[in-house]
């Protein structure tokens, strides 16, 4: 491997990691509250409210229906307004975060549904407010499941960010596109593949370990 | 202490009205252990949940220590609920918290200083005899130990009333006995009024002073425990007194 190739791949890996983790962070920033709203406004839950629940679910479903590659292109004007450019790593983080947020919202809702209702009822009986129940009961009780959802989201984002590479997002996806689709370089293609696999395995491994550490259910 | 006047509760399931409580009136005295017995679906769980307003009655009034609570807002209810402890069939402990964290939980909801919480939790651990499990997680405890922790948690904020919803139904007879004797001790030593929901007549016999029999949302019989055992009037009470698993 030439030094140039090495640095090309190193830079690509770095960019993919930055895109994955920062959009993972932002997608949770958006998706976590959305998921909590979806859960709390469900029938018979603390803030049961059919219209809020339906409206939130409607927008979540719309954004989940848009194929990611279309979303990136569609969002270009918005991305440009927000970060000043529509190409490169920084620009890709915008659609990646928006694209993953509804996915995260649904994952969070499912994590919260796993908590036995009796635990919420017990907290209510002790005079906990809704905010206290969310912060002190729902979040810690769902933590192991939330960590798993985090790894799942990050892995999905590795894939999304690679897709984004085709439309100027940078990272390993971009290298794969340039050296594979435009002119086939078997060595670089294989390296890109191996690196992507390595990243995914690494995220899953660390996620599983972290989830186990915070899980006291058995 | 606790007075229910003409309490109704109707649930709606797809436009179908289900009467869970039908004109229930009860009076429970301070320091009493009051049993409410009935089969599953009789409305007894709904009944106990109206006392701390986990379920708001559709109609009727509830008075706690003379104060009408049915008209209170959710915010005001928080203060009422801190004066009423509750334990459950499935314990409902926080799996993410240690024994200490669970017992401290209701206290951390208020602004109680940490040092004071620690003292209170240690007192309670002494009461339930689980000092050596202070930093264990609930998953490592037996059913009886979990219920003890739940009792300590319910007592943490020094309530006047303890509601027990099928608290011994998931426990074996031996463990049931030890939990019941703990409840009896709490009643005697701390003077806490206990309302106990169950479908087991032995539980009523063991610790209750008075008992109400509930069926299809109605109180069908109400009496002192001795009297009920000697002069059961309704067929449901007789069936509860002489349960039989013989299939004919």
Q: What is the ipTM score, two decimals?
A: 0.92
Looking at residue B234, what is its pLDDT? Answer: 85
Q: Is A2 helix (H, G, I), strand (E, B) or coil?
A: coil
Same domain, B16 and B31: yes
* A18-30 average pLDDT score: 97
Whether A212 has its CB under 8 Å from any CB of chain B: the answer is no
Q: How many CB atoms lie within 10 A of CB A42?
A: 18
Same domain, B137 and B235: no
* A60-69, A142-151, B29-38: the lowest-pLDDT one: A60-69
Looking at residue B226, what is its pLDDT? Answer: 87
Same domain, B75 and B173: yes
Looking at residue B97, what is its pLDDT? Answer: 97
Chain A residues lying within 8 Å of B109, measured CB to CB: 126-129, 132, 136
Cβ separation of A143 and B78 shorter than 8 Å? no
Residues B94, B103: Cα–Cα separation, whole Å: 10
Alpha helix (H) ranges present in B109-200?
Answer: 114-128, 143-155, 173-190
Residues B245, B247: Cα–Cα separation, whole Å: 6
* A135-160 average pLDDT score: 97
Chain B residues lying within 8 Å of A216, measured CB to CB: 95-96, 137-139
In chain B, which stretches have pLDDT less than 50? Answer: none
Q: Is B19 helix (H, G, I), strand (E, B) or coil?
A: strand
Same domain, B167 and B230: yes
Looking at residue A74, what is its pLDDT? Answer: 92
Q: Which of B131, B158, B185 is a domain's end point?
A: B158
User: How many beta-carbon pairs under 8 angstroms link A with B?
Assistant: 70
* A191-217 average pLDDT score: 96
Whether A124 has its CB under 8 Å from any CB of chain B: the answer is yes
Same domain, B75 and B120: no
> How far does B138 lie from chain A, in Å, by closest CA?
8
- What is the span of the domain harbouring residue A129? 3-214
**Does pLDDT of A146 surpass 80?**
yes
**Does pLDDT of A218 surpass 90?**
no
- What is the span of the domain harbouring residue B135? 92-158
Same domain, B4 and B72: yes
Name the nearest CA neighbour of B231 among B242, B239, B220, B223: B223
Looking at residue B4, what is its pLDDT? Answer: 96
CATH code of the domain covering residue A197: 1.10.3720.10
Q: Is A55 helix (H, G, I), strand (E, B) or coil?
A: helix
| Percent of chain A whose pLDDT exceeds 70 | 100
Burial B14-40 (b: 16+ CB within 10 A, else e): eeeeeebbbebebebeeebbbbbbbee
Same domain, B140 and B115: yes
Looking at residue A1, what is its pLDDT? Answer: 79
**Does pLDDT of A9 surpass 80?**
yes
**Does pLDDT of A86 surpass 90?**
no
Residue of A44, A125, A130, A214 to mutate, interface with B, max B Cβ within 10 Å: A125
Chain A residues lying within 8 Å of B94, measured CB to CB: 119, 137, 140-141
Q: Which of B120, B138, B158 is a domain's end point?
A: B158
Chain A residues lying within 8 Å of B77, measured CB to CB: 127
Same domain, B134 and B204: no
Cβ separation of A127 and B137 shorter than 8 Å? no
Between A112 and A87, whose confidence is greater?
Answer: A112
Residue of A127, A146, A214, A217 to mutate, interface with B, max B Cβ within 10 Å: A127
Q: Is A180 helix (H, G, I), strand (E, B) or coil?
A: helix
Chain A residues lying within 8 Å of B135, measured CB to CB: none
Same domain, B143 and B219: no
Of the partner residues A118, A123, A141, the one whose CB lies closest to the CB of residue B90: A118
* A138-165 average pLDDT score: 95
Of the partner residues B52, B82, B95, the one whose CB lies closest to the CB of residue A217: B95
Phi/psi zone of residue B128: left (φ > 0), alpha (ψ -120 to 50 degrees), beta? Answer: alpha
Name the nearest CA neighbour of B52 among B147, B146, B177, B161: B161
Whether A114 has its CB under 8 Å from any CB of chain B: the answer is no
Of the partner residues B82, B86, B139, the one whose CB lies closest to the CB of residue A218: B139
CATH code of the domain covering residue B196: 3.40.50.300
Q: How far is C-alpha B174 from the geometric centre of its chain's CA atoms?
A: 20
Whether A200 has its CB under 8 Å from any CB of chain B: the answer is no
Residues A27, A107: Cα–Cα separation, whole Å: 12
Whether A194 has its CB under 8 Å from any CB of chain B: the answer is no
Same domain, B149 and B180: no
* A167-192 average pLDDT score: 87
> How far does B59 lie from chain A, in Å, by closest CA?
19
Phi/psi zone of residue A170: left (φ > 0), alpha (ψ -120 to 50 degrees), beta? Answer: left
pLDDT tens string B62-88? 999 999 999 999 889 999 999 999 999
Domain count, chain B: 2
Looking at residue B227, what is its pLDDT? Answer: 87
Banded model confidence at residue A11, pLDDT cuts 50, 70, 90: very high
Domain count, chain A: 1
Same domain, B144 and B167: no
Cβ separation of A125 and B84 shorter than 8 Å? yes
Same domain, B79 and B167: yes
Looking at residue B244, what is its pLDDT? Answer: 74
């Amino acid at each position: 491997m030439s030094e140039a190739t090495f640095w090309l791949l190193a830079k690509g890996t770095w960019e993919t990691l930055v895109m994955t983790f920062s959009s993972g962070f932002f997608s949770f920033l958006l998706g976590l509250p959305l998921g909590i709203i979806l859960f709390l406004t469900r029938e018979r839950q603390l803030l049961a409210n059919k219209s809020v629940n339906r409206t939130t679910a409607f927008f979540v479903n719309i954004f989940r229906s848009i194929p990611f590659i279309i979303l990136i292109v569609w969002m270009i004007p918005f991305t440009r307004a927000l970060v000043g450019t529509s190409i490169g790593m920084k620009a890709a983080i915008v659609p990646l975060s928006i694209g993953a947020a509804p996915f995260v919202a649904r994952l969070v809702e499912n994590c919260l549904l796993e908590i036995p209702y009796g635990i919420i009822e017990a907290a209510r009986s002790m005079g906990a407010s809704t905010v206290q129940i969310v912060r002190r009961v729902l979040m810690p009780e769902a933590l192991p499941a939330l960590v798993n959802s985090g790894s799942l989201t990050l892995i999905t984002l590795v894939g999304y960010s690679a897709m984004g590479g085709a439309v100027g997002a940078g990272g390993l996806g971009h290298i794969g596109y340039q050296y594979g689709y435009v002119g086939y370089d078997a060595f670089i293609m294989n390296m890109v593949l191996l690196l992507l696999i390595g990243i995914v395995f690494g995220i899953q491994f660390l996620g599983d370990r972290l989830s186990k550490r915070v899980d006291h259910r058995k | 202490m606790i007075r229910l006047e003409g309490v109704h509760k109707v649930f709606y399931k797809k436009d179908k009205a289900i009467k869970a409580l039908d004109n229930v009136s009860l009076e429970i005295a301070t320091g009493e252990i009051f049993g409410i017995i009935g089969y599953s679906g009789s409305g007894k769980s709904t009944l106990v949940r109206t006392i701390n307003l986990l379920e708001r009655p559709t109609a009727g009034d509830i008075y706690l220590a003379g104060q009408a609570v049915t008209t209170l807002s959710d915010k005001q209810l928080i203060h009422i609920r801190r004066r009423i402890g509750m334990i459950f069939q499935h314990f409902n402990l926080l799996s993410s918290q240690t024994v200490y964290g669970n017992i401290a939980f209701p206290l951390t909801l208020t602004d109680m200083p940490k040092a004071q919480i620690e003292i209170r939790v240690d007192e309670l651990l002494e009461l339930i005899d689980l000092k050596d499990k202070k930093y264990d997680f609930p998953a490592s405890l037996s059913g009886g130990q979990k219920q003890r922790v739940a009792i300590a948690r319910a007592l943490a904020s020094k309530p006047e009333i303890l509601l027990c919803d099928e608290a011994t139904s998931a426990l074996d007879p031996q463990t049931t006995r030890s939990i019941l004797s703990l409840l009896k001790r709490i009643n005697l030593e701390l003077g806490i009024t206990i309302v106990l929901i169950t479908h087991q007549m032995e539980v009523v016999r063991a610790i209750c002073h008075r008992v109400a029999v509930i069926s299809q949302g109605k109180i069908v019989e109400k009496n002192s425990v001795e009297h009920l055992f000697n002069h059961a009037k309704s067929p449901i009470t007789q069936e509860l007194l002489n349960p039989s698993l013989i299939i004919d």
